[in-house]
Structure 1
Amino acid sequence: MSCFSILLAACLASGAPPAAAADTAHLRRDLVALTTTAQPRNYLHEASLNQAADYIKAELAAAGAQPTEQTYQVQGRTYRNIVGGFGPANGPRIVIGAHYDVCGEQPGADDNGTGVAALLEMARLLPRQPLACRIELVAYTLEEPPFFRTPQMGSYVHARSLHETSVPVRGMIALEMLGYYDDRKNSQDYPIKPLRWIYGSRGNYVTVAQKFGNGRFGRRFARVYKETAALPVKRFKAPAWLPGIDFSDHLNYWHFNYPAVLLTDTAFYRNKQYHEAADTLDRLDMRRLALAVDAVLATVVQLAAG
């Protein structure tokens, strides 16, 4: 049974309206918009970065997410996170985030156009769901170098704002590169070679990655996501120092002691065009990207219920 079928059955049993499945046409449209800006959407090309932010804000507004901007200054320039959400305005929340900037002069279809497209499709799917807690959707700026691991990261700014205002956060999900799959043997690498014996050599799965001591939220997310996903899922739990385990926006939520997980196609451990000009839309698998989104929706709806 697919994750969509499981969610549909649960909704019918509860009297809630049935969910819709992620639409590959929507995902492709978002990716086209993000990868065809006049210049790559990196921190030096403010016009293209702002074009991407404006597109994200407009799509969130069209979905009913009532987006706002979280602006801040870096080196005399203004950058912005785009924040929207669904469910109760107050009380605990689950944060789902994806960065929309790229590294260098490349289109960033997988990194991280796919994460943003997934975020926007979540916004289109969430309004029909009964949500007992707020689902906050955040498109981050400045995840990429030279700002990675600095307080200038958009996700650091957002996580700090939650901490400073004492907002209760059940957990955070980072959507980072979700569109590249390879069914061939030896298409998947790992930070430590023996992991291949455990997880296999085919890059045909999504990974839920988290650090040791990540709490109940991380365990529940990984379990429910694996149970509901209609594509292979590998659960990866490791020390925070292991290369790759903190290579995205979730690391900043860990910094403020919020539980957080990374959902990814494993980035450069599989996609050899990571941070290259060939990270293009034609290399992505829209069907499996949609399946990954379906499972996020099913999992978040269940976790939001308590």
Structure 2
Amino acid sequence: MDCANLWKFVLIMCVVAPDSAQETQLQAHLEHFDGVRNPMAATDEPRLEARRYIKDKFRELGLNVHSQTFNTVLKPLYEERTVTGENIVGVAAGTVGGPVVVVGADYDTPLQSSPLEDNGAGVAALLEVARHFMHETARGGSFEQLNTVVFVAFDLNVKTYGNNHPGKPGSYHFLHQWLWPYINQTSNNFAGAIILDSITKFSTQFDSQYVLQEFKDAFPKAASSIANSGNKGDFLAMFTREDSRSIHLANTFTANYEKDRKARMFRLQPMPVRDGLSFVGVLEMFNHQSHYPFWSFRPSEELVPLPALLLTDTDVYRMSMDVCDRPCTPAAFLTRGREGFITKAIDAVTNTLLNLQTKRLPVSATSGGAGGTTTPLLFITCIAVISRIIL
């Protein structure tokens, strides 16, 4: 291996080298999300186990835990069937009462998808964002929490089960029946939602990202950027609307995502959604995830679109560089590449919450809080390793 390629190889390994504590936490979470979590499955125990685990973790973190039950309708074959779901809500209450931010992920899964990929890893990331945020805002942390953050694991996203199911998803019920009353039925009390849905597929292979013609028409700038990179699936997609509050949320997240070296490896691809006919052809790409009820919110006859970001690897439109044959164990699933990709999203979401909902305390007022989730020492160590190899 020549010197230039050696530098590149070791630097990439440094960028994606896992924080051992973070890797351990992610794998521990994934152990509870490796079964098919669907009411139409042969057994409902994996969904119930995931539900218990999320509640326990929210409580351990000191969140105020709420369970929101709701009914929705499935149509497995020819007859409709009413099923009961349960959204799990963990509230980190602020002291000031400013606009609320929501971070959410679906904890159920379609029958045929990988339960770790869709969306076990998203829920694991949700739990890790909550853990980091609560650590940073605890006594002795680096930040004082001002505004409320709501962490929510949604149940029964029936829109991902198939087009024949007529019921509303868990995120719809959460928004209409829990969040809207919680924010006193005014959008002024809401700063936005960040939804984590399928965030594990990463590939530096050419043509690993499938781009529809309709996608090119709707997102010309993003399509050009992807084409220029050789259609590689080497990015996290961020779907967002273009109203002023959505732009503010997206800009804050983007700044946090791109501020450290990992952004060079795992880039962020903004996909701003404008109203108009050009988006009709690509609606199926993103209208079944849990951000969409926020965009299409109608508390009455009037449409009141709420700011929400969808963070995703684009799901079926991307091939993964890491193949994990079924049954795929959490240990086999959590490769270095996947761990790095997920951790990058966790860091950016956590720091976005810290920017929006807290204030940094003076150094003298803290007792060694982490002040963020990155570790400069890792990079220094990697440079030392490279130097030894070269010399």
The TM-score, its normalising length taken from structure 1, stands at 0.81
Q: How does 1:150-189 map to 2 (within 5 A)?
A: 152-161=168-177, 162-164=179-181, 165-166=184-185, 168-189=189-210
Q: Distance in 2 between matches of 1:191 and 1:29?
A: 37
Please, which of 220, 223, 229 is the counterpart of residue 251 of structure 2?
A: 220
Deviation per CA, 1:150-192: give whole Å up to 9, x if none: 6521100011122244162110111011112111111112233
In the TM superposition, residue 277 of structure 1 has moved relative to its aligned partner by 8.0
Partner of 2:116: 109
RMSD: 2.9
Q: How does 1:53-92 map to 2 (within 5 A)?
A: 53-74=51-72, 75-88=81-94, 90-92=97-99
C-alpha distance 258-73 of structure 1, shift in aligned 2 (>3 A): same
Unaligned runs of 5+ in 2: 1-18, 73-80, 138-143, 217-221, 298-304, 360-391
The DSSP-based 3-state class of the residue aligned with 1:223 is helix
Q: Distance in 2 between matches of 1:52 and 1:76?
A: 21
In the TM superposition, residue 31 of structure 1 has moved relative to its aligned partner by 1.2
In the TM superposition, residue 73 of structure 1 has moved relative to its aligned partner by 2.1
Matching residue's letter, 2:176: R
Q: Distance in 1 between matches of 2:357 and 2:125?
A: 18
Contact between 2:203 and 2:320, CA under 8 Å: does it hold in 1?
no
In the TM superposition, residue 272 of structure 1 has moved relative to its aligned partner by 6.6
Partner of 2:293: 252
In the TM superposition, residue 91 of structure 1 has moved relative to its aligned partner by 4.5
Structure with bigger gyration radius: 2
Q: Distance in 2 between matches of 1:148 and 1:132?
A: 44
C-alpha distance 251-219 of structure 1, shift in aligned 2 (>3 A): same
Please, which of 327, 339, 344 is the counterpart of residue 291 of structure 1?
A: 344
More off after superposition, 231-240 vs 215-224: 215-224
Contact between 1:112 and 1:177, CA under 8 Å: does it hold in 2?
yes
More off after superposition, 214-223 vs 202-211: 214-223
Matching residue's letter, 1:254: W
Partner of 2:224: 197
Q: Distance in 1 between matches of 2:348 and 2:250?
A: 15
Deviation per CA, 1:59-114: give whole Å up to 9, x if none: 11111112210001234432100000213275421000000111114442111111
Q: Distance in 1 between matches of 2:166 and 2:28?
A: 32
Partner of 1:8: none
Contact between 1:63 and 1:124, CA under 8 Å: does it hold in 2?
yes
Contact between 1:214 and 1:260, CA under 8 Å: does it hold in 2?
no
Matching residue's letter, 2:100: R
Q: Distance in 1 between matches of 2:21 and 2:289?
A: 24
Deviation per CA, 1:24-58: give whole Å up to 9, x if none: 111111112110x4xx1112243321111111111
Partner of 2:149: 135
Contact between 2:257 and 2:345, CA under 8 Å: does it hold in 1?
no
Identity of aligned residues (%): 24
Q: Distance in 1 between matches of 2:66 and 2:87?
A: 8
In the TM superposition, residue 305 of structure 1 has moved relative to its aligned partner by 4.2
Matching residue's letter, 2:225: I
Q: Distance in 1 between matches of 2:243 and 2:113?
A: 36
Q: Distance in 2 between matches of 1:206 and 1:96?
A: 17
More off after superposition, 185-194 vs 167-176: 185-194
Matching residue's letter, 1:132: L
Contact between 2:211 and 2:223, CA under 8 Å: does it hold in 1?
yes
In the TM superposition, residue 196 of structure 1 has moved relative to its aligned partner by 4.2
More off after superposition, 94-103 vs 71-80: 71-80
Q: Distance in 1 between matches of 2:21 and 2:171?
A: 25
How many pairs are equivalent?
282
The DSSP-based 3-state class of the residue aligned with 2:225 is helix
The TM-score, its normalising length taken from structure 2, stands at 0.65
Deviation per CA, 1:201-249: give whole Å up to 9, x if none: 1112211111343634344344324433523111111345334243410
Unaligned runs of 5+ in 1: 1-19
Contact between 2:32 and 2:49, CA under 8 Å: does it hold in 1?
no
The DSSP-based 3-state class of the residue aligned with 2:146 is coil
The DSSP-based 3-state class of the residue aligned with 1:115 is helix
Matching residue's letter, 1:268: V
Contact between 1:22 and 1:121, CA under 8 Å: does it hold in 2?
no
C-alpha distance 122-97 of structure 1, shift in aligned 2 (>3 A): same
Partner of 1:24: 23
Matching residue's letter, 1:96: V
Q: Distance in 1 between matches of 2:22 and 2:94?
A: 26
More off after superposition, 135-144 vs 201-210: 201-210
Is 1:50 equivalent to 2:85 in the alignment? no
Partner of 1:9: none
Q: Distance in 2 between matches of 1:77 and 1:218?
A: 35
Q: Distance in 2 between matches of 1:81 and 1:66?
A: 14
